[in-house]
A and B are shown apart, each in its own frame.
Chain A
Amino acid sequence: MAQPLTVALPPGVTLWDGCTVRVAAINPTTGNIVSGVNISNVTFDIDRVDDGSGVDLTSGSFHPILIPSSSA
């Protein structure tokens, strides 16, 4: 099993269309992306600031997790 780690994320940063959330392995000395590390199973938890109507969060291979409505 891969080692479980935690890293602090800056709180309360609002992102808008065109912004990028990049998940990467960084060289601790140069700050450059380290080749030879694969990134997968990326999950975001977000608070939407847009009204959520008519805006599809799908982008590239990313897509919203659809939760079935309890009233369905």
Chain B
Amino acid sequence: MALTDDQIVSSAVFAGNSDYVLPGGAEFTLKAVNASFTDNGAASDWLPAVVLISDSQHVIARALDQGVKVTAGQSAEVSFFPGVKHAATASTGTALSWAFMAQTVNPFADTGGFEVDIDLDTASFLTSDAGTYATGVSGGHHGIQINAQGTYLVTTGAEAFPAAAPAAGSILKVAVDNFGAVNFVSPIEISPYYAIGGGSFQGNCAQTYLIEVGVIANPVGTVALLQAGQNTGGNVDLSVGLTVVMLGTSIP
């Protein structure tokens, strides 16, 4: 038997609900519904809905979606049809927890090119998560103490201004370090100095390193330090920063 497609309409305005009762002899499959919902003083938010009720007054189905909620005072025109899928709400993500420390050392003497631990300024300590980070001391130098197991990204940055023209081929170094922890020491970033005009020179370098905290070499409570070195043959005005960011609580 061929199906025939029909439309049924009501322009009347109903308070609360609009009911269509199938008349005698009628039988059909409902394919789509459209309706206007006008808020006229609703006391709460509401869900636009189509409720299918049998002739014995039992609910066959309710077509509504908790994700399609209309705020009290707002109105809506709503279409109901099979197959509607709403995109998932975009996640705002979880904020990463981090800590930062810095220091200025002026004068920072020639280290012979070897890197040495820098005692970071505890007053510069900043963090988004005091439960995970604190200032700590390792080998007599202050750094960022990590108090939770996880995988962390550690970044260092250094900037240096020689007091005089640096010796030819001299360098600035920076690295991540932890006193006594073998697998905590990052590769060393090395930068030459360059002229910035007016007879002045500058060196810049940075290092990023991934560490795991909660392993034997780097137990919870380990302290991230920053190392720097220079061999200009004189003093430099050194500024450094150390940032630790937790990437996750698991250890790969």
Chain A interface SS verdict (over half): strand
Stretch at the interface among B49-57, B185-193, B223-231: B49-57
Residue pair A60, B46 in contact (C-beta under 8 Å)? no
Nearest-CB residue, chain B, relative to A11? B82
Bin the interface of chain A by size.
35 or more
Residue pair A37, B61 in contact (C-beta under 8 Å)? no
Interface size on B, residues (CB 8 A): 77
Contacts of A9 in B (CB 8 A): 30-33, 50, 63, 80-82, 84
Contacts of B6 in A (CB 8 A): 45-48, 52, 57, 64-65
Residue pair B23, A57 in contact (C-beta under 8 Å)? yes
Residue pair A47, B3 in contact (C-beta under 8 Å)? yes
Interchain nearest-CB distance for B75 vs A (Å) = 4
Interchain nearest-CB distance for B234 vs A (Å) = 70
List chain A positions with a Cβ less than 8 A from chain B. 2-29, 33-52, 54-65
List chain B positions with a Cβ less than 8 A from chain A. 1, 3-55, 60-66, 68-70, 74-86
* 5 interchain pairs, CB-CB under 8 A: A17-B24, A38-B14, A39-B14, A40-B12, A65-B9
